[in-house]
Every structure is written in C-alpha cells, then in structure tokens.
Structure 1
C-alpha cells in the first residue's frame, strides 16, 4: 500500500536524522525477492519511521526516468506518476524564457525546476501542504499555498498541470473533469498567456478556448499534450519529437499537406506517435516527399530512404492472410520478427507464436489495409 506522507514526515526527511535514515536504507536491494527481508531490516533500524523512508527510497529509484539527480528529490507516489520527464519539461519551458511565470499547480516542483532554469522570474503555488513542503526542498523558487483558481500574481504567464485522476486512480479524459477544470481556468486568467499540460488522449474539441495544441513524444512514446493560448499560441496543431542524443524536430498544421495516396515504394515509414495524434500525417509526408498507402492509415511510403529517421525497406508485399504470411517468412528464413499493425484487428502477441518462426533472419512485417484489402509488407528496418 502506498505510504501517505504528512508535513511532519517531510520535516524529518529534510533533517540530518532523516538524511541518515534514508542513507541507511538506500543500500537495500528492495527487489521482489528481498523485499520482505529488507522491510524487516528497515523496521529494525528505524522503527515507526521505516515506512516513510522506504517509500522515499523506492520513489527516488522510480524517478530516475523523470528527473536529474533523483537522489536529491522528495516525491509522493501520485506526484511522481504525474511528473513530466525533465527533457519534456525543459522543452516546454523554452517558450517561457525571459518571462515572469507562475506555476499554479506546482506539486513537488518538477515543472517549476525546468521553468526556473530559463524564466526571468518564477513562483510556484499549490493547495497541497505536503507537496509544497517537498517542493521547498526540491526547487529554489518562491512558493505560496494558493488555489489555482484564485490568482495571486499579476501579469505573469501561467502554467497549469491539472490533476487527471479521480480518488480511485482512474484517468479523467474530459476537460470539465480535470482539477481544476479547464473552463474555470480560462475564466480565472482572462487575457493571460496560458500553458496547460494535458493527457495526449483527451478530446481537444472540448477546449474552452482557441490556441495551439502541441503533442510531444520522448524516445518514441507520446508523453503529453500542451495547450497554448495568447502570445504562446502558434499554428493550431504541432507535433514535437524529442529523442535522446538527437536534435528535436517539429511539424505543424501550417505546413503544406500535399501528400498523394500511392502504391508502396521501396521504403515505408511509421510516423512518430506525436505526429499521428496531432493529425499531421499529411504534413509530415509532404515534408519527406512521401505518400500514404491509404488516406485513412498513417503508414507512409516513398522511393528514397529519408535521413535521420527509422524506415523500413520493403522486401515484398501482398494480400494478408495468416497462412500466406507464415509461408513467406518460412521461405525467407525469418526467426525474429517485429509486427506493426494499423487498421486491422490483429494482436501481434497472439499472432507471433502462430507464425511458427524459425531461421536466422530478422524482419519487420507491417500489417494494414489499403481500402478494404488487408495487406502485409515484409520489410527490414534501417
């Protein structure tokens, strides 16, 4: 069961005794095999304080995918779940560079830390006393306890990360169900430049304002949608792709979308999820000089390998049936297979064992439909 922190817990964890307690537990493996023994050790060393210390150590280990130097941070379980990965937070913060900004739902301070790196001035606020106490440890920025719907700053740009889970942990998908709700945010900050972090799966038609919706992916996974209003807003839709070790790139709805539907060429491209979710497949295809296999399907095709992105060289293609695909893979000696699916009711994990793969070759099969015809494209990744 998740530990529920109190303000007293945070005060203890920030003390020298708390630092020593965390250090004493940090060396424990805390794996599924050792967990019961490790908990017993922690209780023997720390007594009633074992729960908060164990939770702190476990959360810091999970936070390695979210923040720099997680060993210096405090989190609650819910705050860590909603925290933005730092590369995404830093990308978003670039639009606030040189400005005064107020993070009105600062939680434990992950987004606030990214804003503080570039903003001229920034302040954080939250209603949760525990999260504010943790933020005071995590971030060097002024903090105030305040309701996001009751403005306590003037003229600052506003950043909001509404809660998107109910008390049972279920996701909220509708703008009116966020905490705070988006329509009330719009009423609370009229005329202010506003950025709101949202889940990428929400219905953007529900937004109570006009502006820009930016979908952001990190290392192939769509992480968030950010809603930009006022001076922040650019074209209505933007997809931003972040990859570790590679330059960031974007595509917007303001770009040309002259993309033909055509037969498969030598190469296939599966667009990044941010591009697909933002509805910018045609703009992306036009940039590459590619076409679509089908106007309702996101797979793109062309005759020249595009630079800097993963593409698939088509070895052969044809009408898809499980039997014909099995025969093709056996003939090609394919023993390792990546299965990509769009537009067909096929579960790769169920299909793979039925294909009875054997051989030394690796391949990728793209299963989709062209019109009403199910198609299989056997490829190699490059």
Structure 2
C-alpha cells in the first residue's frame, strides 16, 4: 500500500530539517530485503512522525530519475509518479503550445506543468488535491519555474481565454486502471462539456478509442524509445491533422508523421529489408503514410510489416537472408541450414506464441538471427533476417 502524504509531511520535507533528513537517509538500500533495517534507521534519524514520508520520498525519487528531469529533488505521491509524463513527452506537448496562455487544470505534482511553464507565455496550474498542489509548488521552485498555482476543481473553470490541458486520473483508489472514459476523474465527457468552445488538450492512455472523444479534431499517439506511452486528444484550434504519430527518443531525437501526408504505396514481394514501424505509427493508422515517406511498400495490405531496399534512418531493420512458407518443420530446417542458435522471433498476423515456438524449435547453431513470421494473403511466411541498427540521417549544417 502506497504511503498517504499529508500537508504536514510536505511542509516537513520542504524544510531544512526535512532536507537534512532526506540527505541522511539517502544511502539506505530501500529494497524489500532491507525494509525492516531501513525503517529502523529512518526512525532513529528522523523520528517516527516523518520516517515513512522520508522513506517513501527517497524511493519515489529513485524511480523518478529515469522519467522526470531533476526528479531526484522532486516530491511525489506514488500514483502521481505513475501517471506523470516522461520528460521528453511533456516537453514535446509543451512545445506544441509554446507562446500561448496555458492552464493545466489537473496539474498534480507538476510533471507537465513544469514543461508548460518553460514554453508558455503565461501558465496556470490547478488541482483539487491540496497535497499534490503543495508538492507542485516545491517541484516548480526546484525546477526554476513559477506558474500561478490555484486549488480548484477541474470542472469549475477559474481562468478564461487560456488553452486548457488536462490529464484525468485513470486509476481508482486501489490502484486499478480505469479503462472507460466515463470513469476517468474527471470524466472525459465532463471535461469536454466544461471547456466547450475553448482549445482543449487531454492526455489519455494510447489505447483509447477516438470515438469516445468526438470533440477531438486530432488524436496524437506518442512513443518514447520504442514504447508507446500515451495519446493526446486535441480540439479544434489546436489540431493540425486528424491523426498524428510522434516518435521520441530520450536523447532528444524525434519526428512526427500525420495523415496529411501521401499514403499511396504498392503491395509487393519482399525487398532486401523488412521494417516494423514504430508502435505509434501502427496505432495511429499511419503505416502506409510512413511507407510512402520512406519509399517502402507493403507485404500484405492488412499487415503492418513493410519492406524495401533501403530502410529508413535511425531504425532497427531486418536484412532478409532467406525465406519460405512457414511451418515448424520448414523453419527448423531453415535454422539448421544457416547454423542459427540464438533466435529472435517477431510475429504479425499469424497465431504463434514466439516464446513457445522458440522452445519447440530448440535452435543449436553458432549464428544469431531474427525470424519475421507474417501472413501474405492466406499464406504464413517466415523470413530469416539479420537485425541491424540503421544510422540516423546526417544533420544538414546551418547556413
């Protein structure tokens, strides 16, 4: 059970005494095995009243370091950290709203608010939870930004003529996920009704059905380092396309593609490479647009694998070495012929469990390879490949 912070806890953690307590306990292991010893030491150093808050804060900060810039100095609740956008995703969203007046109406502990405050002309953050709002005040201060902070219910507007940004809670009090938009807090329809006629951007889980938000003019699917992270629903006035996929990397790289681009691509036999588009591209329904951008074509019009003779820059692509109709017997012979022992299996459109198949195949050779199994028409086909990381395209020098 996650620790429930109080306003008194937050005040202590922000005080000099609290900072010294956090520093004194920073070397604790904080593992399941060290739990009793950690609690005893924290109580000895801090006292019983705030020991739990100190331990929880240290644990959450360690988890946050890979997600939030400067997270090692922030204050969090467990639920707030779980829902917080990763720093590159928050920065991307803030960049789309740069130079505008923005109100984050569910600012929580400030993960998106800090990014918005760095790019907005004016920025307001509000939340109904006074503990999270106090944490947001601390987090903004240590991040060097100073948005206006107000305690307010997201469904009772306290600003006018601002862009509204919202991130409804998608877990219940027990930590279970809420999947239906009407169960979000606040509910998606209620947000849309409250801010009807105002520019609205709502962060959601990437699996949301766009039909659940008929007011949204654009749905943007965002991935980070190959993992699909979230969807953003944008109302008229913010939208620049109907569907967008944005692919980000932690090192600062990234790109976007929309349904405004051409999608006229052929279907044909495999070229020299097979490309598995980023999950954001697939979920956004932009596989053909991506293929057209990079001179690729489809193996099958219903399958997301693409093929071509030159893979896009910056991706992990699969150089085709051999292929044949997929049966376990035929694939086993193919692996023996190429002396494959270390095997990656990728599957689309065929009912195959890669892990179970690998155990049955028992490859024993010296080589390493990837097998791409897919359906072409009604036929299951296996492509034996060598996975390669394609270099990024060189950046043209500035004049």
Q: Same fold (TM over 0.5)?
A: yes
The answer (yes or no) to whether the contact 1:21–1:46 under 8 Å persists in 2 is yes
Partner of 2:123: 122
Partner of 2:166: 160
Matches of 1:127 and 1:306 in 2, distance apart? 46
Farther off after superposition, 197-206 or 46-55: 46-55
Matches of 1:246 and 1:324 in 2, distance apart? 43
1:325, distance to aligned residue in structure 2 (A): 1.5
Farther off after superposition, 301-310 or 248-257: 301-310
Partner of 2:54: 53
The answer (yes or no) to whether the contact 1:215–1:278 under 8 Å persists in 2 is yes
**1:208–1:175 distance in 2 versus 1, CA, 3 Å:** farther
Helix, strand or coil for the counterpart of 2:65? Answer: helix
Find out whether 1:175 has 2:181 as its counterpart: yes
Partner of 1:373: 379
Partner of 2:8: 8
Matches of 1:102 and 1:322 in 2, distance apart? 57
Length-normalised TM-score, structure 1: 0.97
Partner of 2:395: none
Matches of 1:124 and 1:337 in 2, distance apart? 50
The answer (yes or no) to whether the contact 1:182–1:208 under 8 Å persists in 2 is no
Out of 299, 302, 309, the position equivalent to 1:303 is: 309
Partner of 1:341: 347
Length-normalised TM-score, structure 2: 0.93
Matches of 1:194 and 1:308 in 2, distance apart? 33
**1:23–1:357 distance in 2 versus 1, CA, 3 Å:** same
In structure 2, stretches of 5+ residues that fail to align are 141-145, 389-399
1:37, distance to aligned residue in structure 2 (A): 2.3
In structure 1, stretches of 5+ residues that fail to align are none
Out of 276, 289, 292, the position equivalent to 2:295 is: 289
The answer (yes or no) to whether the contact 2:88–2:249 under 8 Å persists in 1 is no
1:219, distance to aligned residue in structure 2 (A): 0.4
Matches of 1:277 and 1:100 in 2, distance apart? 31
Find out whether 1:189 has 2:195 as its counterpart: yes
Helix, strand or coil for the counterpart of 2:230? Answer: strand
The answer (yes or no) to whether the contact 1:173–1:203 under 8 Å persists in 2 is no
Note the alpha carbon deviations across 1:266-303, whole angstroms, 9 max, x for none: 11000000000000011111111111111111000112
Partner of 1:321: 327
The answer (yes or no) to whether the contact 1:183–1:208 under 8 Å persists in 2 is no
**1:208–1:184 distance in 2 versus 1, CA, 3 Å:** farther
